[in-house]
A and B are shown apart, each in its own frame.
Chain A
Amino acid sequence: MKARVHIMLKTGVLDPQGEAVRHALGSLGFEGVEAVRQGKVIELDLAPGATEADVTAMCEKLLANTVIESYTVEMS
């Protein structure tokens, strides 16, 4: 069982890294990119029996800082 956790800065929180990427794309000539948000993906290999609720608890306790970050969990 695998879980994939996507973590993104919440809307409204300035993402300076995303902004830097947007500027770089512009200076490379890629037009039409209005905003870039940069996040991270954490993949977990889970032992049998682990549930999505367990992964959600991990997100709340450690993987995401819910003051500024939102997360989604994908189980496969």
Chain B
Amino acid sequence: MHAAVVVFPGSNCDRDMAVAFERAGAKVSMVWHKDTVMPAGVDLIGIPGGFSFGDYLRCGAIAANSPICQAVKAHGQAGGYVLGICNGFQILTETGMLPGVLLRNAELKYVCRAVGLRVATDQSAYTSGYAKGAEITVPIAHHDGNYHADAATLDRLEAEDRVAFTYADNPNGSARDIAGILSENRRVLGMMPHPERMAETAHGGTDGAALFAGLAAQLVSA
């Protein structure tokens, strides 16, 4: 598996994400936001957490219009894998690659702690390493993680089994407890929690590691 991690000014989980991919056996290339093409042979693009462009205007809005995002969109349209975590999820909704939007947390507070997540589907490369319905513990750290979409979109996400993770105890007001969603072809995942920060024993838990391991297993055999 060859993964590219996109770095924006203000990204701060890019190295954590790269380490998680490497530990799962991937070759990793770091890509700067002003680049316009992906390195040859990239299977998966990671959009990391952080505060791209200072979260000015709206979280992820400026990053979504940076030069590299044309290449990210093209990769997604060609059926490639794209994983957006936290600010990366916000960027993927701003590009239109995933539906909906992340609003300010309902309690207006920045929330930074480990939370319980339910694996809502095992039908994706990202979640195949988990049992459907399993509860895992993964940290969150965000001010704008309140997932919002209109009722028709939410119904469609649920009907098409595209909700990847839900919160066991909703920390931010997200519609229908949604913590992460998949694209129509199930190859683009956006999620607010940080599996890369719960991927080795030194992190205090390894519940996030199966996401990267599952991905690597499917992409190596692909």
Contacts and interface: CB of A to CB of B under 8 A. Distances in A.
Interface in B88-125: 93-94, 99-101, 103-108
Interface string B42-68: 000000000000000110011001000
Interface centre among A13, A14, A17, A61 (most CB of B within 10 A): A14
A20 interface: yes
A68 B57 contact: no
Interface in B132-177: 146, 148-149, 173
Interface residues of A, number: 11
A17 B62 CA distance: 22
Contacts of A67: 93, 99-101, 148-149
B106 A14 contact: yes
A65 B148 contact: no
Contact of B103 (A14, A62, A63): A14
Contacts of A20: 108
A16 B65 contact: no
A20 B100 CA distance: 23
Contacts of B99: 67
A65 B65 CA distance: 13
Given A61-B65, A67-B101, A68-B101, A16 B107 contact: yes
Interface in A1-46: 13-14, 16-17, 20
Closest 7 CB pairs of A and B: A67-B101, A68-B101, A16-B108, A16-B104, A16-B106, A20-B108, A65-B101
Interface of A: 13-14, 16-17, 20, 61-63, 65, 67-68
30 contacts: A13-B148, A14-B106, A14-B148, A14-B173, A16-B103, A16-B104, A16-B105, A16-B106, A16-B107, A16-B108, A16-B146, A17-B104, A17-B108, A20-B108, A61-B65, A62-B57, A62-B61, A62-B62, A62-B65, A63-B57, A65-B58, A65-B101, A67-B93, A67-B100, A67-B101, A67-B148, A67-B149, A68-B101, A68-B103, A68-B148
